[in-house]
Each structure stands twice: as C-alpha cells, then as structure tokens.
C-alpha cells in the first residue's frame, strides 16, 4: 500500500507545474566534509555502515566503514570516473558511482544526487517533481528522479543550515542518513585518514 501511495503521489505531482525553487545558500558549497551513519533497507535485507564523505568541487572521496562486515570500502571519483577499493584491495572502475555501488554492494545509494540532497539542495537534473519548504526556506521534502526525500532536522554550520537527518525512499529501497559532523573548507581535505574517527 505504501508503494502504491508513493507511486500515485509521484504521478500526481508530475502533472502539477511547480513554482521556481528559491536559491538555497548551501547550494554554493563546493568544499565540505561530513561523517555519520547510513542504513539501507529493503523487504529482504538491511545494510548499514559508518560513512565519511569529502567533496571538493566535482572531486570526492566516500568511505563506508564496516558495511555488513566488509571492512572499509572507499570510492574516489570525479565527473569522468570513479574507483572503488575494497578492504581486500580489490579495485573496480566505472563512470557512474550509482551503478558501481549497486553492482558491487547490491544496494541502491544515489551517490550522484546525494552530493546535492545531502546539503538540502535538489540535484540539477532531472527537475524535481515536488518539494516543500519550511518557514526558513529549507527543504522539508523533495521528490526527484523517483525518490522521495524527507528532511527531519537542520543544524547551523558557519553561516549555512545543513541537514542532520534525512530519509530517502523509492519503490524498493529505504535509506536513512544521520550526519554527526559537518566541516566546511577544511585545510586537510583528502588526507590519508579521516581527522575524526566515529565511535560506535
């Protein structure tokens, strides 16, 4: 029933012309890092990991720590390609991080869109099907590319308000992300190890 409701809502919203979304200040950020936790669920399985993400322009490094006992999985990428390295030093190369994660880890994590969604900003393409803003002009919900995104809390980081907790759902996967720390314009980006380690 929930899937039918979500599909119907997406279909209905696609028929409505949305007003232009006002600029969101976090969209200006191109140098940031975060750490937190991610959980991915389906009807058959559950996958969770600590996550560490560094972004500088189009270049990023993304780590999943101990997803289902697999150790540290690392993604290094840009607009041209992405390289995955597993705990047993296997390497996988692709042009699309979403496809690489789906085929290798068997989970659907929309990395390309998450670069934007995780900052509380719609992805540039495709256009959102629907969205809702709070009184402060922050996204509280977003429908885009067959995903429903719900924002539960924002935290102030320097002059920006950034998501602290968000939920993503499509017709098969549910993704929960809790961000425990944001850092902007850090001088030690892309160091060999994260400066701050997460605790269980």
pLDDT by residue (tens digit) across 125-135?
999 999 999 99
Q: Are 72 and 141 in contact (CB under 8 A)?
A: no
Q: Are 173 and 42 in contact (CB under 8 A)?
A: yes
CA distance 29 to 161: 11
Q: Are 166 and 177 in contact (CB under 8 A)?
A: yes
Q: Global pTM? A: 0.84
Domain ranges of the chain: 2-8+29-182
pLDDT by residue (tens digit) across 147-177?
999 999 999 999 999 999 999 999 999 999 9
Q: What is the pLDDT of residue 193?
A: 43
Residues forming beta bridges with residue 138, ordered by sequence position? none
Q: Residue 135, Cβ neighbours under 10 Å: how many?
A: 5
Higher-confidence residue: 85 or 193?
Answer: 85
Among 2.60.40.420, 2.50.20.10, 3.90.550.10, 2.40.50.140, what is the CATH number of 2-8+29-182?
A: 2.50.20.10
Whether the per-residue pLDDT at 15 is higher than 60: the answer is no
């Amino acid at each position: 029933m929930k899937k039918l409701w979500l599909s119907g809502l997406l279909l209905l919203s696609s028929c409505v012309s949305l007003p232009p979304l006002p600029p969101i200040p976090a969209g200006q950020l191109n140098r940031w890092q975060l750490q937190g936790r991610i959980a991915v669920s389906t009807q058959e399985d559950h996958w969770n990991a600590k996550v560490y993400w560094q972004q500088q322009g189009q270049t990023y490094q993304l780590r999943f720590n101990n997803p289902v006992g697999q150790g540290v999985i690392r993604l290094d990428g840009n607009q041209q390609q992405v390289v995955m390295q597993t705990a047993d030093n296997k390497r996988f190369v692709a042009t699309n991080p979403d496809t690489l994660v789906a085929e290798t880890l068997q989970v659907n994590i929309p990395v390309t869109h998450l670069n934007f969604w995780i900052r509380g900003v719609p992805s540039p393409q495709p256009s959102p099907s629907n969205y809702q803003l709070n009184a402060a002009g922050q996204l509280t919900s977003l429908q885009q590319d067959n995903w429903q995104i719900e924002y539960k809390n924002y935290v102030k980081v320097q002059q920006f308000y950034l998501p602290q907790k968000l939920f993503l759902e499509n017709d098969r996967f549910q993704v929960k992300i809790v961000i425990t720390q944001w850092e902007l314009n850090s001088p030690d980006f892309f160091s060999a190890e994260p400066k701050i380690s997460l605790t269980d």
